[in-house]
Amino acid sequence: GQISHYKIIIEENLNRLLVCSFLLPTLIAACVNKIDNEIQTSTVPINFSVKINNTTRVINNTFEKGDKAGLFATFHSEPISGERYIDNLKLEYGTNNTFIPEKIVFYPVGDVSLDFISYYPYRDTGVPVASSIIPVAVYPDQNDKTKYSLSDFLLAKASNIENSEAPVELEFTHKLIKLQITISPKEEKDINELLKSNPHIIATGFKTQANYDLEKNEFTNVSKETDIIPYGTWKIENGKLVGKEFIVIPQTIGPNNQSFVMEWNGQIYTCKMPELTLESSTQCALNITAMQTNSHILTGVISTIKDWTTVEGKTTDNNDQTTALHIAALSFSESDIYRVYHKGKAIAEICKEYLKSETINSQAITCYPIQTNGKSDLSKGTVLKLMNDESNTAGGKINWDIEDNTFNYTPGNSTSINVIYFNEKGEVLTEKPETPNDINIISHTLRDLRSGSIKEYPIVKIGTQYWMKENLQATSYRDGSDIKHITEFGGEAGYFYTEKKVSYFYRGDVLTQKELAPEQWKVPDKKDWDSLVKYVGNAAILLETGEWKTNDDTYIATNETGFNAVPYGICSGKDGSTKLLNENIAAAYWIRGESALTLNSKVAMLISTQSTIQFMDCTPKINALFVRCIKE
């Protein structure tokens, strides 16, 4: 069997200095991103690309970095209203015409193929279970570029796709109608004067909401009549004003239903729509012949229709299957957690974790079944190996108390379990069954998608908590808005970056602006840190990694937990100067307050001269520390 590791490479302040009185006198005192339901079955990952034609999307005729689409997959010829192999997987457009799935997905095993349906823009609600209906809406204010783009509704279908290492090409088709407006000056009117007056025009009477049936390929329940402001800016082309356009849902269009209303030189003019029969994927150029009259009625609307062009998809190939999990083959180099899959569902989680209780003090390899909600069942764990314990107690059952962050262990009678199998419930089998289940194993990471870029973070389980194993490296907030890169304190909130050790130090007030943690994660609060401290017996060395220097010595931290605290120091702006302090001596982390976008008055510090985790005062605007996130 094969164990596959897939990693997507990233495209890409103290009013006073923190009081650290316990530092040695010669030291400078200072304050120092469904992950749950990745889908896979075979060893062949499904990749997605976009084949670009003339007009794929409304802005610049292409998808833009960060655009998000949704994806469904069913077994060939099965309806989307039935059982789905992939349900509303989020895809994000990267570069080179490639969509990156939020979670790694794999083809099914055997001689089966898939039908794919992808849609844009992505909706969290997707399509309800046992339904084929997806809601569609266009924005009334399409003059906003983002809202205009999100008013587009695209579908791509790829049928009977067998597993292959080649990407699935998604050919998107416009399902809505684009109306382009042009204005021609009447007779002797000067086109430049018309442009200078910058006519303001809206479309009235158009319905902006509907349902689309993915099986019947039709719109129903077209409703909510609203005025629409077109997108674009006027310019002169071939003696006319062009550049304004808007997107509408297919509907009855005619003089009794819709009109244009235009303000021109302080006057309001009305123009009724001509009667049009338009189908999905078409665009219509509407030319208004404009003259200033006392009646304020515009005349001469001429429509021409042309196709709103589309795109396409294909594939092939097979790989062998894995039926046994060989523990020795797990390197834990990408993350301290793996997930095991069968028939497209995560069934188990393999963790390299630190077990600490009155009876056990050892790094261990453990296995937990995964529940239907995608979360690990920590009450039914199996200890496969105790790495610092040579007694014959491996193979026993471990049961965690979530609230108390403690566990009970019923010892087994083995030195270690080297090969395991699984039944469909994710239960560990130490003996090979007559017909072992096909499984696939992959390193489980946090995939942080924001602003079209991707950063994968390894994850570590410490007690009942799941932590990022690295410090946050975000240059934007969760919503994609930028965080300012700063090199000096003062001015806007922002982050410092040191290229030497690839470290990001965040000024404290960054955390009070917008949500910083990836989706489904958070900046830990004091209760989270207290739980961690209690679990490790407040032994800082269990969280530290690498070389830590004291006044006259250096020690190598043990890092049994895998937390990976590195002593890169802190950035401080005391006395108006920016300095990196306590490098190789300390690591410090911001702590969230009792509610979002607040900070605790204390920060968490690990210091080479202290054997315990310290909680100290710190002024946000003149200090920049690390951010480490925890799973919500």
Among all chains, which residue has been given the structure tokens 């200890």? 383
Pick from 68-72, 283-287, 594-598: least confident:
283-287
| Cβ count within 10 A of residue 22 | 12
Q: What percent of the chain has pLDDT over 70?
A: 84
Peptide bond into 121 cis (omega under 30): yes
Q: What is the C-alpha separation between 382 and 32, in angstroms, rounded?
A: 39
∠ at Cα 440 (437, 444), nearest 5°? 140
* Residue 199: predicted pLDDT: 87
Local structure of 485: helix, strand or coil: strand
* Residue 61: predicted pLDDT: 58
DSSP assignment of 189-225 equals: --HHHHHHH--EEEEEEEEEEEEEETTTTEEEEEEEE
Sign of CA dihedral 531, 536, 540, 544: negative
455 pLDDT more than 80: yes
- For the chain, helix (H) and strand (E) counts, in that order, are 3, 44
Instruction: Give 156's strand partners.
Output: 118, 172
| Cβ count within 10 A of residue 430 | 14
Chain-centroid distance of CA 417 in Å reads: 36
Nearest C-alpha neighbor of 57 from the set 174, 214, 135, 156: 174
Nearest C-alpha neighbor of 244 from the set 259, 256, 257, 234: 234
Give the mean model confidence (pLDDT) for residues 45-62.
59
Give the mean model confidence (pLDDT) for residues 7-19.
26
Tabulate helix, strand, coil % of the chain (nearest 5).
Answer: 5, 45, 50
Q: What is the C-alpha separation between 523 and 527, in angstroms, rounded?
A: 11
Instruction: Give 98's strand partners.
Output: 49
Domains of the chain: 48-174 (2.60.40.2620), 177-307 (2.60.40.2630), 325-443 (no CATH), 462-631 (no CATH)
Ramachandran angles phi, psi of 429, nearest 5°: -120, 125
Max CA separation in the chain (angstroms): 99
Give the mean model confidence (pLDDT) for residues 226-255.
91
Q: What are 172's two structure tokens?
A: 């998107």
Q: Which of 5-14, 50-59, 557-566 has the highest mean pLDDT?
A: 557-566
CA distances from 145 to 142, 230, 478, 483, 515 (A): 7, 10, 20, 22, 24
485 pLDDT more than 70: yes
Residue predicted with more confidence, 530 or 92: 530
Burial-class residue 274 by CB neighbours within 10 Å (0-12, 13-18, 19+). Answer: middle
* Residue 452: predicted pLDDT: 64
Q: What is the C-alpha separation between 387 and 373, in angstroms, rounded?
A: 31
Q: What is the C-alpha separation between 270 and 290, in angstroms, rounded?
A: 11
Q: At residue 208, what is the residue type?
A: T
Residue range 579-590, pLDDT digits in tens: 999 999 999 999
| DSSP structure class, residue 532 | H
Cβ(119)–Cβ(135) below 8 Å: no
Q: Which residues, including other chains, have CB under 8 Å from residue 320's CB and lie 6 or more apart?
A: 1, 2, 43
355 pLDDT more than 90: yes
Q: What is the C-alpha separation between 63 and 52, in angstroms, rounded?
A: 9
Nearest C-alpha neighbor of 293 from the set 329, 259, 268, 318: 268
Q: What is the C-alpha separation between 142 and 151, in angstroms, rounded?
A: 8
Task: Indicate the pLDDT class of residue 111, thresholds 50, 70 and 90.
Answer: confident
Give the mean model confidence (pLDDT) for residues 263-290.
78
Q: Are strands 172-174 and 113-120 parallel, antiparallel or unpaired?
A: unpaired
Pick from 126-130, 532-536, 548-552: least confident:
548-552
Local structure of 508: helix, strand or coil: helix
Q: What is the C-alpha separation between 68 and 93, in angstroms, rounded?
A: 6
Whether this model's pTM surpasses 0.75: no
